[in-house]
Amino acid sequence: MSFYLHGVHLPHRKKTSDMEPVRMSAPQKIVLPMSMHIGAPAVPCVKAGDHVDIGTLVGSQSGYVSSPIYSSVSGTVKKIDDILLSSGKPCPAVIVESDGLMTFDQNIAPPEMNGYEDLIAAVKASGVVGLGGAGFPTHVKLDVKDISKIQELIINGAECEPYITSDTRTMIDKAHEIENAISIFEKFLGVKKTIIGIEENKKKAIAKMREIAQRNPRVEVKVLPGVYPQGGEKVLVYHTTGKVIPAGKLPLDVGCIVCNCTTMAAISNFIKTGIPLVNKCVTVDGSAVKEPKNVIVPIGTPISDVFEFCGGFSEEPQKVLYGGPMMGISVPDTSLPVLKNTNALLAFGEKEAKRPQSTQCIHCGLCVSHCPVSLSPVGIAKAYKSGNAEALAKLRVDICMECGCCSYVCPAKRPLVETNKMSKTLLREYMDAQKAKEGAK
């Protein structure tokens, strides 16, 4: 396939790719927000004073699009309290004081696997969500009523953001778990073809995944150009299969299921051991970090503890991010915890964190020509400024990936992706109001 969707060439800065993850010791406490996934928050099912072990359920799934949450340490539930997430929204959190022993829950056991329903139940019980950063409950994605619709399983190993190498390490260090997950999906989901998409800059990971393909003729490794946002679902599906996902549709609508490589490894681990998602490999990097490295972190560990484990800061950080510099979320307080979908913690000094001064749009068209889904950020910004929700609907701002390509290439340094995000909110509010009017008739 010679034609590729639009995007941008970014500096990779993946200096931790050859660093095998180092496991943190037990933190003094963990903070487990009940909202670590897209969908309905979990509901606390423990109380202050309860003893918990690694793998003890502390938050029960509260709806179909929801996910259970487990303790990542052994210790005592100190309290259940509201915390402010990085989004600014309050959320109940289970706070556990660690006893340092890191004992496992005695009820942990591998699930019985006899059919498709058992696979869905196991993935649901595992607490696994999209671990590449999306956080969508994986059991919902796999709950396909007609599995004959599945033509390809696409494993996302693109990891296209700068700095982040946690997925790369999964492909290198846990290739056997990815291979086992592929076999499970073949057996219980009827997957007949698996395509592993990896950017060309990950030579060791490519070699490991090719070993899987050599043993399994139904597996293909697709080496992709290092063009951001290669890991976006629509981009990845097109570049691995040539299929175009229509606006408003999902990969399954074109016969594909997309799973992150670390998500696959976590599912395999749960089915083999019964240990739910309690740890996360996190890349810690950025100009303000003294000792960049990959760290295996108990979920819920305060971010400050992770940075301390990496030698602290070489300078006072002016910007701390969950995730990468393109789509990452700014962290207002390092007391916030590592979440299920945290794949990186980045800290930057003043030089990198300083926001450039915006100037007037020069109508160069770079934002349009680099948008992976061919949107017009200039038109969206104009419609947003005038409050024209109908125009935003016609401009299809709802399909914006929020990848940040437009802002990255803009010579005027305009906050285009931020405007797109606010435009999507305005459009949702408008659509909700329209539905309410229709319902009142």
Q: How large is the angle between the packed helices 116-126 and 175-188, nearest 10 degrees? A: 140
Which pLDDT score, from 0 to 100, does residue 3 have?
Answer: 42
Tell me the C-alpha distance between 374 and 397, whole Å. Answer: 10
Tell me the C-alpha distance between 129 and 40, whole Å. Answer: 13
Q: Nearest 10 degrees: CA dihedral of 140, 342, 282, 222? A: 50
Q: Which amino acid would we find at residue 361?
A: C
Mean pLDDT of 391-410: 95
State pLDDT tens for residues 205-242.
999 999 999 999 999 999 999 999 999 999 999 999 99
Res. 257: pLDDT tops 90: yes
Res. 437: pLDDT tops 90: no
pLDDT band at 274 (very low <50, low <70, confident <90, very high): very high
Tell me the C-alpha distance between 332 and 341, whole Å. Answer: 18
Which pLDDT score, from 0 to 100, does residue 88 have?
Answer: 83
State pLDDT tens for residues 283-324.
999 999 999 999 999 999 999 999 999 999 999 999 999 999
Report the Cα 236 to chain-centroid distance in Å.
Answer: 15
Prediction pTM value: 0.94
Tell me the C-alpha distance between 223 and 422, whole Å. Answer: 35
Report the Cα 61 to chain-centroid distance in Å.
Answer: 19
Segments making up each domain of the chain, as ranges: 1-24+108-354, 366-440
Tell me the C-alpha distance between 287 and 397, whole Å. Answer: 34
Per DSSP, helices labelled H in 216-260 are: 233-241
State pLDDT tens for residues 54-99.
999 999 999 999 999 999 999 999 999 999 988 788 999 999 999 9
Q: State which CATH number among 3.40.710.10, 3.40.50.2000, 3.40.50.11540, 3.30.2000.10 fits the domain covering 1-24+108-354.
A: 3.40.50.11540
* Phi and psi at residue 34, to the nearest 5°: -80, -5
